[in-house]
Structures are given as structure tokens and as C-alpha cells.
Amino acid sequence: MDFLTDPYAVFLVRWFHIMSGIMWIGLLWYFNFVQIPNMPKIPDEQKPAISKVIAPAALFWFRWAALATIVFGLFQGWQLGWGRDALALGFTTGSAKMMMIGFGMWFGIIMAINVWFVIWPNQQKALGLVEVPAEDKPAAARMAMLFSRTNTMLSIPMMYSMIAGPHLM
Amino acid sequence: MKNPLESLQNTILLGLAITIVMALVVKYTF
């Protein structure tokens, strides 16, 4: 199994981690900075273009990119041998670098949990991908929006610590 | 009362505030 920790394997996993992370956070920012704020400006008869076509496609890549980012990230932690120390926020090793990257890992894990267990189930209701009574849809849409916005907030310190861990500490 | 998370500006400011607090924790813990 030595090939799994070969320097080139470590590089490949980092490459996949960063690419899937860009896809995830890129789509998160698309939702929060482009789609949600502009929905009220779209005439009602044109709204289905977003809610029936664009949003479901964006959500597909969004949630799978989130999962891929976490899987590649945790695997990278294992490859490099400090995954557990980082998840322990550096208290096991007394390392600021581990605490910094550990903050980023926990922010990312919380965000991925929000994606899969709050945003996605509520979006399925809001977009009509699963059958729910019409009066339940606004509450589901609001819940998805609030957690999406929470993730936008968390993405700022997440990315700070992801980059500061290796490059500032 | 309007939920503070309703506003994207507040969201970004909160994210920056968390970043600053987190950076200070790391700076002064080790």
C-alpha cells in the first residue's frame, strides 16, 4: 500500500481536493451572490428556467463536489500522517499549524453536513423534486437559503485556515 | 425582527469576524 503515500499520490489527491473544493465553493457563491439575490428580478413565467433546470443541475454538482472535497481532504490528512492531530486542533502536538488547518477541516465538515442533511433535503422540497404539500415549500426554501448563507459565512474562515495552515504558519 | 442571516452583507461580515477571532486564537494559543 506504499503507493498510496507516494509523493505523487499525495499531489494527485491534493489536486483533486482543490478542484472539487473550487467546484463546491464556486457553486455555493453562485447561489448566494448570483442566483438567490436575482430571483426576485426574474418575471414569474421565466422563473422555472432557474428552478426547474439551472438550480437542480447546479445542486447536483454542488453536493457531490462537497462530498468529494471532504473525502479527498480526509484521505490527504491520512496520507500526510497528521489528519488526527489536525482534527484534534493541534492540542495533541502543540502545533499552531495543526490548529489552523484543523479549524478549516472542522468548518468544511460542518459545511458538508449542512449541504447533505439540511440544504439538499430542503431544496428537494422547495424545487418540487419530492412531493410535499404546497404550503410546506416556502419554509423549506427559507431553511435551505439560511443554511446556504451560513455556509457562505463559514467558507470565509474555512478558506483562511486552509490556506494559512500551510502558507502562513 | 429580521433574521441577521437574511442579509448577505451581514453574512460576509460575520465570516470575516470569525476569521479574525480564529486567527487570534491560533496566534495567542501557541
Q: Which residues of A touch B30 (CB under 8 A)?
A: 90, 94-96, 99
Cβ separation B18–A156 shorter than 8 A: yes
DSSP code string of A102-163: HHHHHHHHHHHHHIIIIIHHHHHHHTTSS---GGGHHHHHHHHHHHHHHHHHHHHHHHHHHH
How far apart are the CA of A1 and the nearest CA of chain B, in angstroms? 35
Q: Which residues of A touch B8 (CB under 8 A)?
A: 32-33, 37, 149, 152
CB within 8 Å of A82: residues ≥ 6 apart: A93, A98
| Model pTM score | 0.92
Tens-digit pLDDT string for chain A (169 aa) = 789 999 999 999 999 999 999 999 999 999 999 999 999 999 999 999 999 999 999 999 999 999 999 999 999 999 999 999 999 999 999 999 999 999 999 999 999 999 999 999 999 999 988 999 999 999 999 999 999 999 999 999 999 999 998 898 8
Q: Which residues of B touch A150 (CB under 8 A)?
A: 5, 11
